[in-house]
Amino acid sequence: MTNVRLVAVSAGLGKPSATRLLADRLVTAARERLERQGEEVEVRVIELRDLASDIANNLVTGFPGARLREAVEAVTGADALIAVTPVFTASYSGLFKSFFDVIEPDALTGKPVLVAATGGTARHSLVLDHAMRPLFGYLRALVVPTGVYAAAEDWGGAGDGLTATLPDRITRAAGELAAFTAAARQARPAGPAQTPAGDGAKEKEEAEVVPFEQLLASLRPGRG
Amino acid sequence: MVIKVQFGIFTVGDVTTDPTTGRTPTEHERVKAMVAIALKAEEVGLDVFATGEHHNPPFVPSSPTTMLGYIAARTERLILSTSTTLITTNDPVKIAEDFAMLQHLADGRVDLMMGRGNTGPVYPWFGQDIRNGIPLAIENYALLHRLWREDVVDWEGRFRTPLQGFTSTPRPLDGVPPFVWHGSIRSPEIAEQAAYYGDGFFANNIFWPKEHYQRLIGLYRQRYAHYGHGAPEQAIVGLGGQVFMRKNSQDAIREFRPYFDVAPVYGHGPSLEEFMRETPLTVGSPEQVVERTLKFREYFGDYQRQLFLVDHAGLPLKTVLEQIDMLGEEVVPVLRKEFAIGRPANVPDAPTHSSLLAARTAEPAPAEA
């Protein structure tokens, strides 16, 4: 049995918040699917509200404080990520964007990501495709085909009979995330499990250093 | 005189309004204040004065060797350095010439710190592209390194006009090039570069948490050994620090807070308390500064150079000079004593012109790659 680190990022501001509620529903569904695949799942939900001033401070100083650093390491070290934002002024919230702004641009490469959003009306549902997909596309994450948008009306009622209901969409998206996660883990070369911080990061940095002769050689005239 | 660890001041040279009075110094006042700070550093027994290099307001020090040459004429023992010299956008030929000239004028009291510079527009202003930052740092330094060691240089690279039969004059004093530090805030490539040449590595740790610099310095030490310059603990390490002191620590905090809160680099962000927790900034009594600085050795190993930032964010010159007095009288003498205790015999002293000259005399004719 392996261990999957499933991390959800919720940018909801209310307490309780519909965004957090959606994040929790997605986490539950994804955990279920992963466990059915024989995975042991470790869940972590990160509320950006609790990190709001840390994120602003990082933007100003250029480095994360201890609390934010720990959250960023959890996200970059996750095997699967669920990212949920409320719609603010026709897009993801500024807090949501700022959190991903302080993460290194290559840190989410190849990571399975489920995008989800909440809003007052269904008219904003294309925020998933017009804002969130480009963001994670830029970060070269593997965004699953189904994004989940929950309008206020989705929390009650049984839909119109023509569109999939919120529970259906959640189940489908969670299934896709579980499949992507399994595929991404298979694609990863065998070796010791990556640890997000501490000695693991140290080893990573040392392994990544390009020998100086190589740096020099790439500059010789006639090259690139 | 052998100095195990050099202590000094590094300045950014910003012109910033004093938030407590609303007064902004003129550029002329700031330039003269930087000189006064250097002279004070020598007067109180510090070892190093280093100036930044900037090509945009609100900074004044665009021409470091001019300023350092003037300071050289008015000092006797202070080592004149930079923090940093832009290896990306300056012509390496001009760096070789300017600093060799300065080295002669200052009778060897010169070293310099290479840096890339992180102000985007400076690159195009000097005909370069910031995306080439690392390649520029590598190629330009490779040329500079040769210009100081080979009398006649033929050279061709990607970024500069080729040279045929070029001799950089004056030749370095006594045939010993100025010692070079490579400054880095985050790039492992620069630690690798410093290790390759057996040069010094200066980690300007004043903004980031220590763990980041432990990794960077650890990498430099390990690669220094890899390239055969000595054991990891023999690599030449410099560190930054940032302090504000008053006899009573509460007075220090009360006086410094308005400057901190609106400081150009980190102002309007974390609280003073948070920033002190996360970074080496120490605002308090001289004893607290001693205690905090002694920790650096625990974190990073025995090292060779400690520079303090004391003159930014609009602090008035009078206050800055008081800070340097306290460094010279109450902080550095204690640190010198404490750092000497238990320092392994194989850890090298801070490099100077005379120590480099002595080392070269002891090992004649080193092969130059």
**DSSP symbols for A87-154:** EETTEE-HHHHHHHHTS-TTTTTT-EEEEEEEESSGGGTTHIIIIIHHHHHHTT-EE-S--EEEEGGG
pLDDT at A199 over 60: no
pLDDT given at position B80: 98
pLDDT at A41 over 50: yes
Q: Which residue has the higher pLDDT, B336 or A1?
A: B336
pTM: 0.89
What are the tokens at A174? Answer: 């969670």
> Which candidate in A61, A72, A104, A204 is best for mutational testing of the B interface (most B CBs within 10 A)?
A61
Calculate how close chain A gets to B163, using CA atoms only, in Å. 13
Share of chain A above pLDDT 70, in %: 88
CB pairs below 8 Å between A and B: how many?
A: 70
pLDDT given at position A203: 45
Share of chain B above pLDDT 90, in %: 88
Closest chain B residue to the Cα of A59, Cα to Cα: B269
pLDDT given at position A160: 73
DSSP annotation of A43: E
User: Closest Cα to residue A20, out of A156, A145, A150, A153?
Assistant: A150
pLDDT at B259 over 60: yes
Please tell me if residue A204 touches chain B, with a CB cutoff of 8 Å.
no
Q: Which residue has the higher pLDDT, B252 or A156?
A: B252
Q: Which residue has the higher pLDDT, B367 or B298?
A: B298
pLDDT given at position A175: 98
pLDDT given at position A191: 46
pLDDT tens digit sequence for B194-229 = 999 999 999 988 877 788 899 999 999 999 999 999
Alpha-carbon dihedral sign for residues B324, B329, B330, B333: positive
Max alpha carbon distance in chain A (Å)? Answer: 69
pLDDT tens digit sequence for B87-112 = 999 999 999 999 999 999 999 999 99
pLDDT tens digit sequence for A51-83 = 999 999 999 888 898 899 999 999 999 999 999
Closest chain A residue to the Cα of B268, Cα to Cα: A60
pLDDT tens digit sequence for B12-55 = 999 999 999 999 999 999 999 999 999 999 999 999 999 999 99
Contact assignment for A219 to B158 by CB distance below 8 Å? yes
Q: Say which residues have a Cβ less than 8 Å from residue A100's Cβ, sequence separation at least 6.
A: A135, A139
Average pLDDT over residues B341-353: 95
Contact assignment for B138 to A57 by CB distance below 8 Å? no
* Sequence ranges of the domains in chain A: 2-193
* Sequence ranges of the domains in chain B: 6-362
Calculate how close chain B gets to A212, using CA atoms only, in Å. 6
Q: What are phi and psi of B269, to 5 degrees?
A: -120, -120
**DSSP symbols for B75-110:** -SSPEEEES-EETTTS-HHHHHHHHHHHHHHTTT-B
Calculate how close chain A gets to B329, using CA atoms only, in Å. 32
Band of residue A189 on the pLDDT scale cut at 50, 70, 90:
low
pLDDT at A206 over 70: no
- Single-letter amino acid, residue A219: L
pLDDT given at position B369: 45
User: Interhelix angle for B317-326 vs B27-43, to 10°?
Assistant: 20
What are the tokens at A93? Answer: 């919230």
pLDDT tens digit sequence for A87-98 = 999 999 999 999
Q: What is the ipTM of this complex?
A: 0.78
pLDDT given at position A217: 86
Number of H helices, E strands in chain A: 9, 7
Average pLDDT over residues B316-337: 98
Q: Which residue has the higher pLDDT, B1 or B221?
A: B221
Determine contact, residues B242/B308, Cβ cutoff 8 Å: yes
Assigned CATH topology for domain B6-362: TIM Barrel (3.20.20)
Distance CA B43, CA B232 (A): 35
CATH code linked to domain A2-193: 3.40.50.360
pLDDT tens digit sequence for B122-162 = 999 999 999 999 999 999 999 999 999 999 999 999 999 99
Distance CA A46, CA A29 (A): 17
Band of residue A195 on the pLDDT scale cut at 50, 70, 90:
very low
